[in-house]
């Protein structure tokens, strides 16, 4: 959470002032602001953009698309290439087109990513409009619903249960108004608000301003009116993105890790090449420029393009499965996720809960329990939930409609204390025939703790020490069966209002029993997640027994359970062990959910969180990938990475698979291309030291790059072996350097064999002598053309085949077949480029026809290369147990 050190001076000033001063200073009439006053206020104090999330603006989508560690490296290398190829051309420079290729790839890859993110942004914007915060505001003498963005300082607004406060508001009228300030205080307690001015002689912290509702806080119960004093970034909460985007995406950390591996290789190779070429050629300027070109040649030019294409493909695939990936980097987080934390209701169970029984303390049906519960739910002004909805459906019971419609007349409401996550119950005061009655409904443990008597068939019995286990017997049996149980209690009260101290010495009346059925798809979905080695942990506010029963019905192995109260008692050094071993966490507060996710991350896990309520926001923000549903609160949707258009765990397993496939194809390109480039650079450096000419022309290098780049462009559509995507993978550069050092020099060995065969055997045989003894320029030109053509063909074959050899742990083409696009591009490229030297078009690129004998040598060389790579791959797998 962002650090909040002060509040706006207007808010502070008028919290200590009387309401009349507020109306006078801001020239507010009883009709509220008119249009002209509102526009003037907007100009003077700014717009109310409190719910705008920076990461979702067009500008931030552009920045994400074009600015990342890979694009920065390639931009720097393009600048170097521009200097070496255009400004300071030398014999050792690569090609002016290198700049064009790199810049083109940067632009195209950025556009691909930007288009995909804008598509996702459009969907999330449409969802935001559906759930957009609408506040009642007094304008021109009329109360009207208005989007929170349109509110201005001086507006008179009305708040009610369920509202997210849109700005910092000085309250002018309240009625049982209770507000949760957890987003600004970090605590889950609820504060009762009123409109009385603070005492100027007793300054208190802003969290204790009982007459002010702060932006971002939630109305738990009651209603109120007030005048806006601060909007947008002037509020205490500020821009919501300042808090909800504190999480640094794991993709960025992995990208930085990979980028630094490449930079370290450059840091070693560039000075070595500079010294070697400078000593052998004597031209230190040319040696320096050639050393810089080595850095360009080492970096995979298509890196941003392939990565963005892989992520965009995965994101688009999820879009077809009713899942919106707001930030395509989250596809990688999906793939690396090894722990998924979920709430119970609506995820493992359905959204609809049924009231099955209303019973006394011994399990007999009791209409008085239902009557008191009905009054409590009907009069409760807090945010309605699925349990209240189930209770209120009893008014539609056949033959009982008139009875329940008459209850409010018999028992009018006097006062209430709404539900909060600390107390876990609701208290409502009603006027009875003989006396006032305080009705309580909520968590069994919390309610029973406040009861001193029990009622059974009209008789009251005092609860003795040790009797509570007996009182719990019926409820415990129901909880073990997976039913959700609430306790109902009451007490006579003389006063017409209530306070927290009144919530003691109740009479336990009985229980309400609800059936929360597991979803039919949940068991198979959990089985899929477990087969993908993703652990599922349930984080719920429900009772332990209910959560355990549901999990067991779904086939989840419940190794250990913990409640929120038990977590608080654990020593800090024991928390990581217990949280690691626990499957079900019950009776949690919002803050505890976030703490559990944080501990899992500190244990080395990549954690996801699926939630839909405001109480899930802290945990979702903390998680590596936050997942919400389309019916979530607006702030929850804004802070999530992924939005499910249907709340189904099967979709999550699909997302994990797509993420892992995207990761695998990205890793194929990065590891294989970087190692291949490393081998080629070694070969070119060695050849440049010993050969009197360049081993390949700039145009020929461009042709090779073109073929390989086209092949890499279809990598996002390559198939991925099951053994690769069956386990979560870490996105980092930890194994990249090892892979490059292991496989890169192997290609250099065969390059050098080819160099030797061409320079000492084939070319002298065809041209009539070694290069230095040839009498004419024409003969030397022929010698060079044969050498360059020979290495062009060998490089093309080895560079293409290594992609197929290292893309899988299995035997390529036989045990693991590439996708049709990859195979098609491979065959087409090899056939066309092998035939090119034998065509008139080949002469335009400096290529010449080769004798059939060389093709025989090439075939043997390529076969030996494939065998050696296969043996090396086997050794690598035995030693490191992974490839890609």
Active site residues: 343
533: left (phi over 0), alpha (psi -120 to 50) or beta: left
DSSP 519: P
Cβ–Cβ contacts within 10 Å for residue 209, how many?
23
Q: Are 143 and 136 in contact (CB under 8 A)?
A: yes
- What are phi and psi for residue 591, nearest 5 degrees? -65, -35
DSSP H or E segment with residue 241: helix 241-244
Supply the Cα-derived Rg of the chain in whole angstroms: 35
Nearest residue to 493 (alpha-carbon basis) of 448, 442, 429, 446:
429
Count the helix, strand and coil residues of the chain and give each as a percent rounded to the nearest 5. Answer: 55, 15, 30
The residue to which tokens 């009713």 are assigned: 322
CA distance 151 to 38: 8
CA distance 153 to 231: 7
Query: In the numeric block, which tokens belong to residue 530?
Result: 């477990």
- What are phi and psi for residue 511, nearest 5 degrees? -135, 155
Q: Could you tell me which residues come within 8 angstroms of residue 775 by beta carbon, excluding any fewer than 6 positions away?
A: none
Q: What's the 3-state SS for 710-755?
A: HHHHCHHHCCCCHHHHCCCCCCCCCCHHHHHHHHHHHHHHHHHHHH
CA distance 89 to 715: 34
Helices 698-713, 777-806: crossing angle, 10 deg rounding: 20
Query: In the numeric block, which tokens belong to residue 76?
Result: 């720097």
CA distance 572 to 709: 52
Counting Cα atoms < 13 Å in the Cβ hemisphere of 808 gives 19
DSSP H or E segment with residue 277: helix 250-281
Nearest residue to 381 (alpha-carbon basis) of 419, 411, 325:
419
Q: Could you tell me which residues come within 8 angstroms of residue 631 by beta carbon, excluding any fewer than 6 positions away?
A: 131, 612, 647
Query: Coil, strand or helix: which one is 382?
Result: coil
CA distance 733 to 259: 8
Q: Could you tell me which residues come within 8 angstroms of residue 851 by beta carbon, excluding any fewer than 6 positions away?
A: 762, 766
Query: Coil, strand or helix: which one is 177?
Result: strand
CA distance 811 to 804: 9
DSSP H or E segment with residue 62: helix 58-66
Helices 303-319, 698-713: crossing angle, 10 deg rounding: 20
**Residues β-bridged to residue 192:** 178
Q: Are 857 and 851 in contact (CB under 8 A)?
A: no
CA distance 368 to 389: 19
CA distance 9 to 27: 19
- What are phi and psi for residue 535, nearest 5 degrees? -75, 140
- Which stretches does DSSP call E strand in 494-614? 506-515, 535-539, 561-563, 584-586, 607-610
Name the burial class of residue 446, with classes exposed (0-12), middle (13-18) and buried (19+) by CB atoms within 10 angstroms of its CB: middle
CA distance 615 to 260: 39
Chain centroid to Cα 468, Å, comes to: 45
């Amino acid at each position: 959470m962002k650090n909040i050190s002060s509040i706006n001076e207007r808010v502070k000033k008028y919290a200590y002032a009387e309401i009349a001063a507020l109306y006078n200073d801001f020239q507010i009439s009883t009709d509220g602001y008119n249009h002209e006053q509102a526009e003037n206020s907007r100009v003077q104090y700014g717009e109310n953009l409190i719910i705008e999330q920076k990461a979702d603006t067009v500008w931030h989508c552009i920045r994400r698309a074009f600015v990342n560690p890979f694009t920065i490296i390639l931009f720097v290398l393009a600048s170097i290439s521009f200097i070496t190829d255009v400004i300071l051309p030398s014999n050792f420079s690569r090609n002016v087109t290198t700049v064009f290729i790199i810049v083109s790839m940067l632009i195209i890859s950025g556009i691909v990513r930007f288009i995909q993110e804008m598509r996702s942004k459009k969907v999330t914007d449409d969802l935001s409009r559906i759930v957009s915060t609408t506040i009642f505001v007094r304008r021109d003498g009329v109360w009207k619903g208005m989007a929170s963005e349109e509110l201005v300082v001086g507006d008179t607004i009305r708040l009610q249960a369920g509202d997210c406060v849109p700005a910092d508001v000085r309250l002018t009228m309240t009625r049982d108004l209770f507000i949760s300030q957890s987003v600004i205080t970090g605590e889950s307690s609820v504060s009762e608000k009123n409109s009385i001015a603070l005492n100027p002689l007793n300054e208190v912290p802003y969290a204790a301003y009982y007459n002010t509702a702060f932006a971002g806080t939630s109305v738990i119960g009651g209603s109120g009116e007030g005048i806006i004093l601060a909007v947008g970034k002037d509020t205490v909460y500020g821009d919501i993105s300042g808090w909800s985007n504190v999480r640094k995406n794991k993709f960025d950390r992995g990208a930085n890790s990979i980028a630094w591996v490449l930079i370290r290789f450059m840091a070693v190779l560039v000075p070595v090449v500079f010294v070697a070429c400078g000593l052998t050629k004597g031209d230190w300027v040319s040696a320096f420029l050639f050393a810089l070109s080595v850095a360009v040649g080492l970096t995979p030019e298509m890196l941003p393009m392939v990565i963005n294409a892989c992520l965009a493909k995965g994101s688009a695939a999820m879009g077809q499965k009713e899942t919106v990936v707001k930030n395509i980097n989250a596809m990688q987080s999906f793939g690396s996720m090894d722990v998924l934390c979920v709430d119970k209701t609506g995820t493992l169970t359905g959204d609809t809960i049924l009231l099955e029984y209303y019973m006394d303390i011994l399990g007999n049906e009791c209409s008085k329990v239902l009557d008191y519960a009905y009054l409590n739910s009907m009069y409760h002004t807090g945010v309605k939930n699925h349990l209240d909805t189930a209770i209120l459906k009893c008014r539609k019971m056949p033959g009982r409609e008139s009875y329940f419609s008459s209850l409010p007349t018999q028992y009018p409401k006097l006062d209430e204390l709404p539900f909060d996550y600390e107390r876990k119950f609701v208290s409502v005061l009603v006027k009875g025939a003989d006396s006032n009655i305080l009705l309580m409904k909520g968590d069994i443990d919390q309610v029973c703790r406040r009861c001193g008597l029990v009622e059974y068939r009209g008789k009251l019995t005092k609860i003795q020490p040790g009797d509570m286990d007996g009182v719990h017997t019926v409820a415990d049996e129901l909880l073990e069966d997976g039913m959700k149980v609430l306790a109902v209690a009451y007490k006579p009260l003389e006063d017409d209002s209530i306070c927290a101290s009144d919530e003691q010495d109740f009479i336990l009346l009985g229980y309400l029993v609800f059936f929360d059925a597991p979803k039919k798809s949940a068991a198979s979905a959990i089985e899929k997640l477990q087969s993908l080695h993703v652990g599922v942990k349930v984080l719920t506010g429900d009772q332990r027994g209910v959560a355990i029963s549901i999990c067991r019905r779904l086939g989840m192995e419940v190794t250990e359970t913990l409640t929120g109260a038990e977590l608080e008692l654990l020593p800090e050094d024991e928390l990581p062990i217990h949280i690691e071993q626990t499957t079900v966490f019950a009776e949690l507060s919002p803050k505890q959910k976030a703490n559990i996710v944080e501990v899992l991350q500190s244990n080395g896990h990549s954690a996801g969180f699926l939630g839909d309520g405001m109480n899930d926001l802290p945990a979702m923000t903390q998680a590596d990938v936050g997942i919400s549903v389309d019916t979530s609160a607006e702030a929850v949707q804004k802070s999530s990475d992924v939005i499910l258009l249907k709340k189904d765990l099967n979709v999550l397993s699909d997302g994990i698979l797509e993420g892992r496939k995207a990761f695998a194809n990205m890793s194929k390109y990065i590891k294989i291309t970087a190692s291949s480039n490393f081998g080629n650079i070694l070969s070119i450096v060695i050849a440049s030291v010993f050969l009197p000419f360049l081993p390949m022309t700039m145009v020929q290098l461009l042709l090779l790059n073109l073929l390989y780049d086209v092949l890499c462009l279809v990598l996002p559509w390559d198939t991925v072996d099951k053994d690769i995507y069956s386990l979560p993978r870490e996105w980092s550069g930890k194994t990249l350097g090892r892979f490059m050092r292991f496989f890169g020099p192997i290609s250099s060995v065969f390059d050098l064999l080819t160099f030797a065969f061409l320079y000492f055997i084939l070319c002298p045989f065809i041209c009539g002598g070694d290069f230095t003894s040839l009498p004419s320029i024409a003969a030397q030109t022929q010698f060079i053309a044969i050498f360059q053509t020979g290495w062009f063909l060998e490089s093309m074959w080895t560079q293409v085949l290594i992609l197929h050899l290292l893309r899988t742990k299995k035997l390529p083409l036989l045990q693991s077949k590439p996708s049709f696009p990859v195979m098609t591009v491979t065959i087409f490229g090899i056939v066309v480029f092998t035939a090119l030297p034998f065509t008139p078009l080949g002469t335009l690129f400096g290529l010449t026809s080769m004798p059939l004998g060389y093709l025989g040598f090439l075939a043997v060389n390529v076969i030996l290369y494939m065998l050696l790579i296969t043996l090396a791959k086997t050794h690598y797998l035995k030693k490191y147990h992974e490839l890609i």
